[in-house]
Structure 1
Amino acid sequence: MCHSRGRENFRHSSGYRCRDLHGASDDGHRQEQIIKFAIVGLFIFIGFANSSRAISQLHQVELGEFSGSARVITDPQRVGAATQIILEISGDRFVVYAYGPPAWRLSNTNVGETVFVSGWRHELAPAQAKRLVSKHVKGNFEIKSIAEQRLIASPIYRSAQRVRKLIDSGAKSFPFDERSLFTGLVIGDDSKQPKQMISAFRKSGLAHLVAVSGQNVAFVLTGLSPLLRRLSRTVRLLVVFIVLIWFVVITRVEPSVIRAAVMAGVATLSISLGRPTRTLRILALTVIVTIFLDPLLAWSVGYFMSVGATTGLCLLSAPLSRVVPGPRWLASLIAATISAQVGVAPAVIFVFGMPAAIGILANILAVPVASLVMLVGLPLSLFAGAIGETIFSWLGTIIMWPVLIGVRWVWWVAAVGERLSATGLANFGMWLVVLALILLLLHGDARVEG
């Protein structure tokens, strides 16, 4: 009797304890959710305040006549008969279109150098202001004169310029068009590409190849991986961060490479801490960090396309590669191509209009070869450039010959893709066929799993 009463009391007390534990668990979960929402709300508030500050600062600019020092922000580029460059004057950025003697002197400047100019600061036209907002440009500088004297850039800019010159010198045996395409593929320098080439790559859907992206960053880290594996975790992390920052400077701080470098840094940090994170979560964190640090990146088409392509790869590449028939390497290539095209489609359609459906085939043919050019061409061009002024310069020409073949293949695919690209209803119909095939493959895979 006493034993049964004791067991009953024990069950009652156990039930109370379980209910207490469940109640405490629910309270803890509720508090955790409240903290998460509070953090998100705080980030939204700070982000909104930061964006408002960035936009207001964009309109705070001193105009009128100026004479003094200015820092070179971008590489000089030919635009028609003018030389276009962006200068920083008294902390504000101005776009310059120079003609005559000032254009000649500006064309010989390097990023990070300080020049001495005189002229007038004007407001930007509305269309021009919208196009240059992501570059933090506040006005237009009408240059009157520029002095011969200029001050050298900081060591990091000088080292980056040295690397760029070595890469360009390593490809000096290439014809002009192939040389300009090679520098575009490796470091995103498309400033010397002819209009015909630019048009061909855009119409064939291959323009992303000459914009530095995560692929270039991955190849740089892949090339350094034998060295990185021999370092301790802390030193390896530090070296990766230094290399990423340096590569961003070499590629002229383009929005797409900023996204790629920050994402690579976050991924490396998570692995070093022993907490590998899903790629999509790393991408989301990268977007939060980059937009928080520079809200004007949200106005960059290149940034949107970079994020869109990565999102498409994260969400669609794996399921599509499982349903595309054929060898695994080909299925993975087709799946990655379609996924990236779907990811960038919203930004491309909104800014440039409907992309050419032939771009899927063009990417399948060009991307593997372009990837080899990026992976092998960077170290080979550095070596060829380093020995270019010695008696062994002929060796540089020989080792760069396979790279030239690859560059010509990519150029040929772009040219043929431009000729085969359709417009209007024909292009729309081709995209409907592609969409129907994707849905058919996914539906078939779902039936097999069911």
Structure 2
Amino acid sequence: MVVSDRVVVLGAVGVVAGAWWAPPLPALVAAGVVTAAVVVRRPWTAVVAVAVLAAWLGGRAELAANAPVAEGPFAGEVTLVRDPGEASGAVRVEVRAGSRRFDAWARGRAGAAIRPRLAGERLSVRGRVEADVPSWLRHRHVVGRMEITEVIGWRDGDPASRLANGFRRVLERGAGHLAPDSRALFTGFVFGDDRGQSPAVADDFRAAGLTHLLAVSGQNVAFVLAVASPLLARLSLRGRLAATLVLLGFFALVTRFEPSVLRATTMAAIAALSSTVGRPVSAIRTLAAAVVVLVLVDPFLVHSVGFGLSVGAAAGIILLARPIAGVLPGPRPLRAALAVTLAAQLGVAPILVPTFGGLPVASIPANLLAEPVAGVVMMWGLTAGIVAGLVGGPVATLLHLPTQVGLGWVAAVARQAREVPLGELDLPLLAVAAIAGALAMLASREGHTRLARVTAAVVVLAVLVVPALGPHRPPALRSELSGVGELWQVPVPGGRVRVLEVETTASAGRVLEALRRNGVRHLDLLITPSGGSRAAALVHQIGRRVGIARIWAPAEHRLAGATTPDLGVVEAPGGLRLEVRAVRPRLEVVVSLDPPAAG
């Protein structure tokens, strides 16, 4: 049976649809459909078979994720599935106990004992298990929550995880002299670990559309294979294939099998296998085959935003980069780079815009300026970074001078892109741009090259300019920011009075993103109901991003520069009315607007 690229792509679509549907199919039904496909040996039967198989596997995964969990005390050994991170003042990590995964939290001494550990290592712990977890965690095979109250001891994991963790620690040790933000960017670029990144820098990268640089992708895999190519070239054909597969598996282990890593390494493995057997396949066929394999192995990948964005970006580049480059005006290197950026952005837009609210226009120039330098940092980190970690001292400092320059450039691009008020693309504008681009490509095919390039130039300029110059609605007087707090933006002569009553349980990243999306660069008053260390850290992060004229905090607070208001009513410009009802143990302020000002 000859299987065309179209059939493989349809098979990938069927697998994704089946895994998303995930009905409780009987095993006999799935086995019957697969057997019939093997007997009939027709392309359409193969598509139906893999779709039904994915649906059956997805149903089994749903049943396993929703199986009852025994609640109560826990004492035993757990294996860290991911690297520990900070969340809500605690250490949070995904662990495996037996065959089941838990979302584990630890505070105090238990948290301090877990914090330096890495994925694959094993801990003897005591705590308590609860069954209630959100659906998004169940789609990562997490079946319950574990509160760890005591860490009795720990030991290394299996040999593969020890080797991977040792490799990561060598790279981290070599970059130990870098500033915290630069060090977090370095580990993000090289192996996708951005846990140490400050909320302000993370928001810069989100606003600039550069967060993909901190998630390992096909570019990282290509650099790994490029670095290893002199050694791989010395091996026999079969030896080269085996070494390539081992290298890809080890890199996936180092980068923690993130969805984007799985997509990239699986595509590379399929390409290496097809090349070895003398039957090279197209890039779109390789991508579709990788989707089929990965979703059959883990049907829950269809619920992963990271997996969807990775597949979308790869599909966009494969299908659209060359046609877009053909119609863009300008020098060939610039056209090629811009085409890849535009193609990737179009590929991720159907997932990114509905999920995160818009595609930053600044991401287009920011990617053109940052991606080449980030690629150099990745490759340098995988070569000189190892030497720096092994030797240390002044040699490491010298070796990482290019790293510092590259990281500084990318961080500056992200920071400046955030400051440029270019706006965001929504789905209607993207659809119009896509249609106009398609017409330009059609004109190019018909031989109207000049018309195609003029049309393409107009489309690109429109995409860059329209969101910034188009009509903008004035901000709402009062906005309830989910998980962040309450924001007032009241017009007064010469500007607006901005007051934020923040929820001190909110993450700093979420607060900064909400302020950016609402166009807030200055706060006249920041009200924090709590005055503890966590509130102080949150206010500090907000102050790094926006100017704050005054801070109100409860009595006996720990916030530098904050004051505690008197009980009663305070009138503010624009008709704002601030009623202070309590100052201890928490500050309670009711903000309202006088009816005349509201009108």
Q: For this structure pair, what is the TM-score category when the shorter chain's length is used for normalisation?
A: 0.7 to 0.9
Aligned equivalents of 2:63, 2:126: Cα separation in 1? 27
Deviation string, structure 1 residues 232-265 (Cα, Å, up to 9, x no partner): 1110000000000100000011011011111000
Who is 1:122 aligned against? 130
2:495 is matched with none
Which has the larger displacement, 426-435 or 307-316?
Answer: 426-435
Residues 429 and 58 (structure 1), Cα distance of their counterparts in 2 relative to 1, 3 Å cut = closer
- Cα separation, partners in 2 of 1:42 and 1:432, compared to 1, 3 Å: closer
CA–CA distance in structure 1, aligned partners of residues 54 and 129 of structure 2: 31
- The Cα offsets for residues 168-197 of structure 1, whole Å up to 9 and x where unpaired, read as 111122111111101101100001101111
Aligned to 2:148: 143
Paired residues for 1:393-404 under 5 Å: 393-404=393-404
CA distance in 2, matches of 1:203, 1:421: 10
| Percentage of pairs with the same residue | 35
In the superposition, relative to structure 1, how do residues 110 and 432 fare at CA in structure 2: closer, same or farther (>3 Å)? closer
CA distance 1:113–1:314, shift in 2 (3 Å) = same
Code of the residue aligned with 2:194 in structure 1: it is D
The answer on 1:310 being equivalent to 2:314 is yes
Shift of 1:62: 2.1
Who is 1:11 aligned against? none
For residues 375-434 of structure 1, the C-alpha deviation after alignment (integer angstroms, 9 at most, x for no partner) is 22221111111101xxxx31221121012101111111111111125446x878985886
Distance 1:367 1:437 in 2: 26
Aligned to 1:174: 178
Q: Per the alignment, do residues 408 and 42 of structure 1 end up closer, same or farther by CA in structure 2, a change over 3 Å counting?
A: same
State the secondary structure of the residue aligned to 1:78: strand
CA RMSD of aligned residues (A): 2.1
Instruction: Mark the CA change 1:258 to 1:159 in structure 2 (over 3 Å): closer, same or farther.
Output: same
2:340 to 333, 336, 345: 336
Q: Secondary structure at the match of 2:178?
A: coil
Asked whether 1:78 is paired with 2:82, we answer no
Shift of 1:270: 0.5
TM-score after normalising by structure 1: 0.87
**Which structure's residues are more often strand, by fraction?**
2
1:44 to 45, 51, 58: 51
8 A contact 1:76–1:107 mirrored in 2: yes
Q: Which whole-Å CA distance do the structure 2 matches of 1:385 and 1:141 have between them?
A: 35
Question: 2-side partners of 1:186 and 1:438: how far apart?
Answer: 34
State the match for 2:445 in structure 1: 446
Greater shift, 375-384 or 252-261, is seen at: 375-384
Counterparts in 2 of 1:365 and 1:122: CA distance versus 1, 3 Å? same
Alpha carbons 1:357, 1:421 under 8 Å: kept: no
Shift of 1:444: 4.5
Give the letter for the 1:221 counterpart. L
TM-score in terms of structure 2 length = 0.66
Alignment of 1:1-400 (within 5 A): 35-65=42-72, 66-125=74-133, 129-147=134-152, 149-388=153-392, 393-400=393-400
User: Structure with the greater relative contact order (CA < 8 A, sep ≥ 6): 1 or 2?
Assistant: 1
Deviation of residue 328 (structure 1)? 1.3
Cα deviation for residue 133 of structure 1 reads 3.4
Describe the shift of the 1:101–1:269 C-alpha distance in structure 2 as closer, same or farther (beyond 3 A): same
Mark the runs of 5 or more structure 2 residues left unpaired by the alignment.
1-37, 450-599
Match of 2:77, as an amino acid? S
- Distance in 2, matches of 1:418 and 1:33, equals 57
The structure in which a higher percent of residues are helix is 1
Q: Is the 8 A contact 1:324 1:441 kept in 2?
A: no
| Residues in 2 aligned to 1:226 and 1:241: alpha-carbon distance in whole angstroms | 16
Given that 1:120 and 1:142 are in contact with CA atoms closer than 8 Å, whether structure 2 keeps it comes out as yes
1:24 corresponds to which residue?
none
Aligned residues: 411
Q: For 1:250 and 1:56, locate their aligned partners in 2 and report how far apart those are by CA, in whole Å.
A: 30
- 1:55 aligned partner, one-letter code: E
Corresponding residue of 1:3:
none
Segment of structure 1 superposing worse, 264-273 or 197-206? 197-206
SS of the aligned residue for 2:86 comes to: strand
Are the aligned partners of 1:255 and 1:302 in contact in 2 as well (CA < 8 Å)? Answer: yes
* Cα distance change, pair 422–151 in 1 and its aligned pair in 2 (3 A): same
Answer whether contact 1:61 1:92 (CA < 8 A) is retained: no
- CA deviation digits over 1:258-285, x for unaligned, max 9? 1111100000000111111000011100
Unaligned runs of 5+ in 1: 1-30
